[in-house]
Amino acid sequence: MPTIDQRPRKVVQNREFIQYDDYWIRFYTPPNDSYREKLELIDALTRRTFHHSEPGINTPGSRLESARQNYEEQQDPDKRRVNAAMLAGALFNRATDIFHAVVEMESKGIKIDRKNELLKQCGACFKEALDLGQFVRHVSGDEGVDELWGEPLKVFTMPMKDYYESRYVKIAQAMRTIDEVSHTMVDIFLPLPWFDSIDQEILHFADVSKRFTEIMKSDPDFFAIWPEYSVARDRLMARIPVALDLEADSTDSNFRKASRLLQAGVTLINHVSSVRVPMRKSTISYLETLNSFQTSISQPLERIAQ
- Digitized pLDDT (tens) for each residue of the chain, 306 residues in all: 677 888 999 999 999 999 998 999 999 999 998 889 999 999 998 888 898 889 999 999 999 999 999 999 999 999 999 999 999 999 999 999 999 999 999 888 888 887 889 899 999 999 999 899 889 988 877 776 777 778 888 898 899 999 999 999 999 999 999 999 999 999 999 988 888 889 999 999 999 999 999 999 899 999 999 999 999 999 999 877 554 554 444 446 788 888 889 999 999 999 999 999 888 888 999 999 999 998 887 655 544 444
User: Is there a contact between 292 and 277 (Cβ–Cβ < 8 Å)?
Assistant: no
User: Is there a contact between 97 and 74 (Cβ–Cβ < 8 Å)?
Assistant: no
Amino acid 298: pLDDT: 67
Amino acid 306: pLDDT: 40
Please give the backbone phi and psi of residue 290, each rounded to the nearest 5 degrees, phi first.
-60, -45
Name the pairing type of β-strands 23-26 and 15-20. Answer: antiparallel
Nearest to 195 by CA among 245, 239, 132, 250: 239
User: Is there a contact between 87 and 59 (Cβ–Cβ < 8 Å)?
Assistant: yes
Nearest to 257 by CA among 288, 282, 294: 294
| Angle value at C-alpha 261, between 256 and 266, nearest 5 degrees | 125
**pTM for this one?**
0.86
User: Is there a contact between 53 and 199 (Cβ–Cβ < 8 Å)?
Assistant: no
User: Is there a contact between 123 and 156 (Cβ–Cβ < 8 Å)?
Assistant: yes
Please give the backbone phi and psi of residue 17, each rounded to the nearest 5 degrees, phi first.
-130, 150
Amino acid 192: pLDDT: 87
CA 21 to chain CA centroid, Å, is 18
Amino acid 148: pLDDT: 78
Amino acid 147: pLDDT: 74
